[in-house]
């Protein structure tokens, strides 16, 4: 009996040490407001076109990156590149959602969504990352999801994701930045008070003869059968809604020229 008691004590101490090491060392060196410390050749995105960050926690994964908001318990933006070669129909088994170990405070538990009536809506879609098991599974970190109305998620948001893949097939490599519009007094769900955005945005851009061409959307988090074109906005409008500064590393003159107008002829719906 005494021997068993000693074994249990040793196991308990070992587990405690293991949890402490995980919490304090696993992935905690990925947070910074200055993107320049990253090796840009390894980024899943063009570094000079990243948006600003409000909460100073940038997380770099192999196939996307994000700015995590602890107050809202979700990403304020997720950025990734979509290449033609990424567009596969590989059948992948959906894994469980898990907390993101690279987030300092650990991202919100998926159980916050349970019984809430909201979907665990992907920001970087799993459908854009079917080309490898690792890339697909990576999209199931809870840092990459936000509460979405079920009909919105399965409806107009899904239509926009499908349209983005069509554009990738037609035009080639795309860059995508997406997230919920995070602001005060939002509905909250779960024991960690995960905020429910009233609107979601997606910015898609590409380069044509080194000229940046973009299309941006802000869509209410509710069912809609309206055409996607109804929700197109300028980057200036997106910045006003989100409080983020897109392309903030570019010269002000460049931003003024690019961000104030929409050219839909570059994007076939």
Residues serving a catalytic function are 122
Cα separation, 89 vs 81, in Å, equals 18
Cα distances (angstroms) measured from residue 76 to each of 65, 98, 183, 264 = 11, 19, 10, 26
Cα separation, 144 vs 31, in Å, equals 16
CB 125 within 8 A of CB 165: no
Cα distances (angstroms) measured from residue 131 to each of 62, 64, 86 = 13, 14, 5
CA 137-86-37 angle, 5° bins: 70
Cα separation, 207 vs 89, in Å, equals 26
**The two three-digit tokens of residue 220, written as one number:** 């209410």
Burial of 65 (0-12, 13-18, 19+ CB in 10 A): buried
Find the distance separating the first CA and the last CA of the chain, reported in whole Å.
Answer: 73
Secondary structure class of 135 (helix, strand, coil) = helix
């Amino acid at each position: 009996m005494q021997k068993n008691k000693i074994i249990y004590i040793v196991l308990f101490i070992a587990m405690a040490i293991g949890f402490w090491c995980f919490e304090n060392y696993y992935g905690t060196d990925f947070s910074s407001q200055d993107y320049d410390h990253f090796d840009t050749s390894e980024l899943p995105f063009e570094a000079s076109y990243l948006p600003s960050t409000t909460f100073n926690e940038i997380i770099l994964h192999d196939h996307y990156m994000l700015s995590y908001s602890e107050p809202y318990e979700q990403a304020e933006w997720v950025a990734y590149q979509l290449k033609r070669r990424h567009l596969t129909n590989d059948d992948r088994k959906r894994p469980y959602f898990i907390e993101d170990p690279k987030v300092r405070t650990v991202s919100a538990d998926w159980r916050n969504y349970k019984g809430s009536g909201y979907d665990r809506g992907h920001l970087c879609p799993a459908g854009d990352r079917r080309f490898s098991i690792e890339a697909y599974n990576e999209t199931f970190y809870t840092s990459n999801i936000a509460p979405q109305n079920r009909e919105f998620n399965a409806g107009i948001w899904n239509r926009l994701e499908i349209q983005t893949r069509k554009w990738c097939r037609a035009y080639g490599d795309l860059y995508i930045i997406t997230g919920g519009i995070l602001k005060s007094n939002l509905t909250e769900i779960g024991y960690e008070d995960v905020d429910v955005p009233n609107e979601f945005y997606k910015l898609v851009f590409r380069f044509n003869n080194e000229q940046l061409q973009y299309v941006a959307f802000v869509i209410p988090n509710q069912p809609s059968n309206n055409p996607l074109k109804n929700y197109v906005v300028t980057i200036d409008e997106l910045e006003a809604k989100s409080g983020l500064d897109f392309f903030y590393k570019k010269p002000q003159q460049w931003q003024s020229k690019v961000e104030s107008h929409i050219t839909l002829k570059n994007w076939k719906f």
